[in-house]
Structure formats: structure tokens, C-alpha cells
Amino acid sequence: MKKLIFGAVAAAIGMLSMSAAAQTQDAAWLDDNLSVRKEIVVKPGADGAGLDARTATFPFVLRLSTQTFAFDDVKPDGSDLRVAGPNGERVDHYVENFDPKSGLATVWVKGVGLDPASSQTYHLYYDGDVASTANPAGVFDASEILALDFSGSPVKDRTRNNNSVSTVPTSAGFAGQSAAFSGKEVLRIAGSSSLNIGGRPFTFMAWVKPGAAGGGSVVDRAGSFSVALSGLSPVATVGGVQIPSTAALKPGGWNHIALVVRGNGRAELYINGAPAGAGNAALPAQQGDIVVGQGFAGQIDNLRFAAADRSAGYVQAVARSDNGRGLVTFGAEQERTGHFEVGYFVTVVKSVTIEGWLVIALCGILLVLAIRVMVQKFGLLKRIETENGHFEKAYAAEGQLDGAALGQLAIKNPSSTLSQLYQAGLQEVANRSQAGRARFTGPAIEALKARIDAVSSNQAYSLSDKLVILTLSIAGGPFLGLLGTVVGVMITFAAIAAQGNVNVNAIAPGVAAALLATAAGLAVAIPALFGYNLILTRIKRINAANRSFADALVARIAEEYGA
């Protein structure tokens, strides 16, 4: 009996603590009009995007899909989206594209104070009747003087400079829409005071998808700089000095090109975030129009021009993060909770009828089963999270998708859900490699997604197995207690009827049994409720990590084995 009383007191203290935590959480909520937020973990360092120095402002992209985001909870145009930074305050963002029907969206966010030595946690808020706070110009720092994503008509410069841009055909691109060139179209950006930066360092970046033949000009500013294609090999020219690339672009696939000209006259060419050529060239004058796509057949997207020499790590981080790898990991969703009151139940009893003990015994059996399930689940989830951590680090460090070391690690970590998804993906690659190198067309990518989704669904089912015992404990415990209460009340009335008058000695046993049975039912339901929510939260986190990894794996396989 003492144990039950102490248990009830401990449960009350725990519920009070949860109430205080809920109030603290509500106080930290960005906007009371928004009911849902999604955790976003940003990893700028070596285990993520590969940023090489602390960066005050770093625009990064959120690629949302139905596997990582609930589109049904958001306005059709995504105008109710908000983003909170690591300090809980709102940071600027803008929506490049938002398509609930296809379940795809691209949202740009202003990263603040990114430090390679540590991760950051942002939150994406939504689900509320609020006006848009999107601010494209605020996403980029002052040195970013031109940013074109080609979504929307007419094409707009997303920076605060609002440079004038000519019209150009668009088509589905790297993210949202991209500029489409057939070799005849030209995109012209009018020279302006913001673009005329004189003999200062600068950085040009763009995503390029050339046709099979290649050739043509990606960008050209007469007398200043250009990036052209000799076949599929980029050649940069800075102040008349040519800098050929040591790497060729992949035809029919998206490639990140960056040209950085530093203050010491060193010009560096990067392909997909990796150095591909360098040379000495005087800082050129920066005047006149910027011409994009002259004689070029293919697509160009996310074109950026900065009056600053970005570091090698910065360029690599842009190439990796914009491609949906490295920087961003999606976490669990969290709904805003209201305040609640806690009732106190203190009962002291000395005698219990046989009917009351029967109900208490049933509650005890249910509690033992619930504790057994909780112990098993917490052990399993710990193994999965530990092995997932090991595999995620190895996967991030492995350059080859089908590396032997990565495969062996996947075998050694059988509980890891990420390694299971990885093995399913590689098995699909192996099945398509029997007649030569695997080639993934559009239907093949869909088949790959279906295969990985099936594995992910089976994992979610396995993680949730036996949780029904906890739900039965949560729902059944109070009802068993109610049964004891009803039986006690029946005995009380029977005692009154037998004695013919109201006698305290006759009614006390029935009342005691009723109260103790109710306490026993709560003693089953309360720990089961806490355990269920803790387990469910960790399962959601694992499932979210699985969905994020599955998206990244499909994208990587499509990139390396795309037709």
C-alpha cells in the first residue's frame, strides 16, 4: 500500500514537472498563431556540408517532400511558413516553389552564425491563419549582389538590389523552375551600380545542366570574366587569362560551377564544390551587361554573383547543401500543447474487499506487461540510435556509394534502420547492374523509391510493434479502476441495505476498495502514458531520420546512376 501511495505522489510530481516544461515550451514558441513546428538540424562542419570557417550569413535550402513534411497542414502557397533560428527568433526566408499536389517545395532560409565546430537547430513553423513574412532580400548578405532562381514570372533578382533581368524560357529545373536555353536564347542582366564593383574580388556560382554536345557560354561579361564550355569542359576567362577546367561536366545532369577571383589576383574554378583549375589574373573591371547562355543548349539555375571571394569551404557547402546533401537533416514534428491542470488523489485505506483485490491484481498484471514492453522498446531504440549514428558518420565520410567498408559496416550494424535502407538501395542498384552498369531512368527511380519506401514502412511497423499493450494500459487501466469503483459502490449499498441504516463500519470497506482500485488503475495508466509518449517521440525521430536519409540516398543514386 505504501508503494502505491509513494507511486501516486511521484506521478503527481512528474505531472507537475511536465506542466512547467509545457509552459516553458509555449513561451519559446515563435508564433502563438502557428500550431506545428518541425525540427531542422543544420550541420555546417566536416560531418555535414563541409564549411571551413564560421560564417555570419549562409543561405541554405530546405527541399521538402511528402516523406519529410505534412503539406496538408500548410496553406496552398506556403505563406504561413515561418523559420526560427537557433536562438528561437525568426530568421528571414522565402518560398521558391510550393506545390502540394506533387508534394514538393523549396524554401530558402537565412542561416546565421554557422560554425563548423557545432550543429544548430532551426524550427520550421506552420499551420495557422497568418500573413506571409517571406523576405527574399533578407536571406542573402550584403555582398550577394545578384541571385536568380528563375521561379516566377518575370524572373526577379532575389537580392535587395532588384537588378533588371530580361525574359527567358523556363522549365522544371534543379529547384522549381530553371532558365532553358536551346542555343538561341540569351538572358541579359543590365549593368547597374550594384553590379559595377570595379576591380574587387568576386564569386560567380550557378547550377548548369548541359546538353549532350556541350559548348556555348554559361556567363560572359565583356572585358571582365566569362565561363564557357569547350564541349563539356568549362573554361574560365578572367581579364583575358584563360583557366581551363581539369574536370568535365556530366551531360544531362546538374553540375555546380563556381568562379572565385580573390584579392591577390588568384582565380579559382570549382566544379561540384571541388577545385578544378586555378591561375593568376588581375582583378578585372566590372561594368556593362552580364550575358547568360549565349550559344548554350541546356538549363541554368540558382545563379548567384557576389562582391566577395568565397572560401573553398563555402563553395563546397553551397554545392552540397543546395543539392540536398550534407547540411540539413529533418527532425520530428511537434504540436503546440495547451496548459493543463493536475488533480491530486490521496487515499489512505486499511481494509479492502476480495473484489477490490481482484481488480488491483488485474491492474498489476497489466502494469507488469507494460513495463516489460517499455524495457524492450527502450533497449531496441537505443541500439538503433547508436548504430544509426555510427553508420551515418561512415556514410558521410565515404566517397563511394558502394564502398566495401560501408557495406561491411552495414552488415555489422543489423539494427541500424539507415543501413537497412542503404542495403535496399544498393540491392536495387545490383539488380540493375547484372547486364552492365546500372542506369536509372525516371520509372526506375520511381521503382527505387517504392522499394525504399517499402523497407521504411516495414521498419515503422516493426518499431511500433507491441505498443498496443501500452495503449491498452493507458485506456484499460482507468476502466479497470472504474470497475473497482463500481463494485465498491455496489458493496456499499448492499451493506446499507443489509443493516437497514447508514453505518460507517459497513460502508468503509467498499469505499476503500473503490478508491484503491481507482488509484491502481491510475498507477497503471500514468507510467504507461509517459513511456508511450517517450517511445513514440523517439520512434518519430528515427522515422524522420529514415525519411531524410531515404530522400538523400535516392537523390545520390539518381545522380550517380541516372540515365
Is 0.75 surpassed by the pTM of this model? no
Over the Cα atoms of the chain, what is R_g?
Answer: 31
Mean pLDDT across the stretch 441-453? 80
Residue pLDDT, tens place only, 329-379? 998 888 876 543 333 233 334 456 677 778 888 888 889 999 999 998 898
pLDDT digits (tens, 9 = 90+) for 276-332: 999 999 888 888 999 999 999 999 999 999 999 999 999 999 999 988 778 999 988
pLDDT tens digit sequence for 177-209: 899 999 999 999 999 999 998 889 999 999 999
- pLDDT number for residue 504: 56
pLDDT in tens, 423-439: 887 777 777 776 666 66
pLDDT for residue 165 is more than 80: yes
Range of lowest pLDDT (48-52, 78-82, 505-509): 505-509
Percent of the chain beyond pLDDT 70? 87
**Residue 528, beta-bridge partner list:** none
Q: Where are the alpha helices (DSSP H) in 285-441?
A: 312-322, 354-397, 404-412, 417-431
Highest mean pLDDT among 267-276, 338-347, 440-449, 481-490: 267-276
pLDDT of residue 551: 85
pLDDT tens column, 376-423: 889 888 988 888 888 888 877 776 776 667 777 777 777 788 888 878
For the ranges 12-21, 152-161, 259-268, 512-521, which has the lowest average pLDDT?
Answer: 12-21
Tell me, what's the pLDDT at 161?
94
**Neighbouring-strand partners of residue 176:** none
Output 424 or 109, whichever has higher pLDDT.
Answer: 109
pLDDT (0 to 100) of residue 140: 95
- The answer on pLDDT for 31 being more than 70 is yes
Provide mean pLDDT across the span 28-53.
90
Using the structure block, give the residue that is written with the C-alpha cell 531496441: 380
What's the rounded Cα separation, in Å, for the pair 228 and 219?
Answer: 7
Backbone angles phi, psi at 547, to 5 degrees: -65, -40
Contact 236, 269 (CB under 8 A): yes
Mean of per-residue pLDDT scores for the chain: 84
Nearest CA to 122 out of 61, 66, 47 is that of 61
Residues 6+ apart with CB under 8 A from 292: 179, 186, 187, 188, 189, 217, 218, 219, 220, 300, 303
> According to the model, what pLDDT value does residue 434 have?
61
Ranges of beta strands (E only) in 115-213 are: 120-126, 144-148, 170-172, 177-182, 187-189, 202-210
State mean pLDDT over 113-126: 94
501: pLDDT strictly greater than 70: no
Kindly provide the b/e burial profile for residues 209-240, where b requires at least 16 CB atoms within 10 angstroms of the residue's own CB: bbbeebbbbbbbbeebbbbbbeebbbbbbbbe
Between residues 8 and 55, the one the model is more confident about: 55
In whole angstroms, what is the distance from residue 498 CA to residue 506 CA?
A: 9
State the average pLDDT over residues 529-549: 89
